[in-house]
Structure 1
């Protein structure tokens, strides 16, 4: 086992980004606690973790239950001795215009996506602060900055996580704590959520293109866990473009999304069952959905922005070194030119 083997908790680990992230941590030999509601998905995820070289612990929990999350964290600490990394990834959503979402549905999305992150962070800090070390990774989205139509509940929850994480980060810095928190803002990802999400739009729900494979997100999360001094990571060119456009011309983006985002989030066909808002999608059906959705044919397996984000330090050092060499070379050439000029001047004077 690697000397830097860690104990990692991943919420929402039964499918999608959480599932891919658990595998990525396992590939480096980590012990991975898998938290989610769906037993079938968790069992399959645990098998993948073991095959990848990690050690798995399955904990069935609804992250909207604060006491259950505290108990889950204690179970992990009892089993593995400590918690080094906590990844808040679990979420829920509803695809529908705001006026078609019931108050109970809105509350449920908020409790799972936002309060699940808050409760997970609180549980992690309870174990990390006494040791004065540990990392909390919030899995965010470009939609944490830029709301889009048909996903108001999810966008609102991701915005809330963004504000919460910034407040917490300031508090930890003020206290001089050794615990770090960072956030990974993701693009559209090819996950099973588009088959199990509660939807009231015509046709089948789909992500706004371009779509990335969940392994792209997983690599970014694993890197962020080891480099949490960075406050935030952006993954995917679409994320970068969206966030920059929203910062420069949000009104223009409002009108663009009003024209295009409704059609961009649906395709022909009937929305598949089951929904997972109130119960796990794999529960009554005994089905493991895995990490990938139905968009493998179009999903991108690499992200230049994610690679650049992971390698920014080395690229920066290379740029500095290259600049130093070039600067030194230029200085030598300039000195030689000045010396040559002086020799020529002395020769002219003597003549």
Structure 2
């Protein structure tokens, strides 16, 4: 029985990933801060026929992550797959984000990945096997306004992971590390992140359901030989566009980035947020995987399939090209 571990497992992409893995009837450790969401996710795992080990942990606290790793090894067995997806952030112009808030968002989103990776490697390296999946973002390559803390952390994760990958190659390690870069996803984050925007925050369209991201994450775990996977055409265009014309994107986002991240509804600045403490949902209801934008979200991404099946895609394109050449000769 494989042992899988998912951070940020109580909601959003992490929750959707847990649901997908649970269908395989394996042992899964779930790490998150929110008790209700965490235990609700564990019940879904058990209902699907898999074994669940929910662990309340703040990924920003290295000692807590170490303890979580020990519990997983003691109660489930060797860790074979570790998926980092936990994060927090602040929606606001940079100068409106307090230093302690920026530090906290960085500690959860960036150092949480560092801590998780360190603990995973401490168990995987002696056995010389295992896979680590870093859930990234198109914003790991292209910063946008109003999300400086999140974009900075995601950029840092890329640099950290690339350095680590080189070291593992130098050591001829069989431990694999891969990244999955996501587009805008319909998760509960827009209802629980700290926001100082005048209107309610929303993802930049096009929006995808978290199940699209989960399929890509699980696919990357199954095929970790690739450095990274891109999910959604918007992710590919963002990353490639930033390589070609970053200055043009600066001006475009300066014009459109504020409006595209806010709905027409006024923000409720008195609502609780999860930057410092977990939110277990109103009246005991956990947030689940999806946010409130399902009416506008895509349930599939052809580009994500192409990213996972490059050989098949290349063969198909070559076949099409050959067919065109034959047709032209007739």
* TM-score calculated relative to the size of structure 1: 0.88
Q: Which residue of 2 aligns with 1:134?
A: 130
| 1:296 has 2:294 as partner | yes
**How far does residue 310 in structure 1 lie from its aligned partner after superposition?**
1.9
**1:60 aligned to which of 48, 56, 60:** 56
Of 47, 50, 58, 1:51 maps to: 47
Structure 1 residue ranges without an equivalent (≥5): 331-351
Matches within 5 A, 1:1-351: 5-271=1-267, 273-282=271-280, 286-316=284-314, 322=319
Q: Pick which of 258-267 and 269-278 moved more.
A: 269-278
Deviation of 1:30 (Å): 2.4
Deviations 1:28-82 (A, max 9, x none): 2221111000000011101111222321110000000001001101100111111
Report the aligned-residue RMSD. 2.0
Question: For the structure 1 residues 317 and 279, does the alpha-carbon distance in structure 2 shift closer, same or farther, using more than 3 Å as the test?
Answer: same
Question: How many Å apart are 1:225 and its aligned residue?
Answer: 0.6
- Conserved in 2, the CA contact under 8 Å of 1:195 and 1:271? no
CA distance in 2, matches of 1:53, 1:235: 29
171-180 vs 284-293, which moves further: 284-293
Q: Which residue of 2 aligns with 1:340?
A: none
After superposition, what is the alpha-carbon deviation per residue over 1:263-294, rounded to whole angstroms, capped at 9, x for unaligned? 00001224353200000011785330000000
The 3 A distance-change label for structure 1 pair 159 and 270 is same
Q: Deviations over 1:232-255 (max 9, x none)?
A: 000001101111110000000000
Q: How far 1:176 moved relative to its partner?
A: 0.5
Do the aligned partners of 1:96 and 1:151 also contact (CA within 8 Å) in 2? yes
SS at match of 1:176: coil
Question: Structure 2, unaligned stretches of length 5 or more?
Answer: none
Shift of residue 182, structure 1, vs aligned partner: 0.4
Deviation digits for residues 11-37 of structure 1 (CA, Å, limit 9, x no counterpart): 000000000011111112221111000
Q: How many equivalent residue pairs?
A: 324
Corresponding residue SS for 1:149 = coil
Partner deviation per Cα, 1:119-172 (whole Å, 9 max, x = no partner): 000000000001100000000000000000000000000000000000000100
Distance 1:86 1:249 in 2: 35
Contact 1:195 1:274 in 2 (8 A): no
Q: Which runs of 4+ in 1 moved over 6 A?
A: none
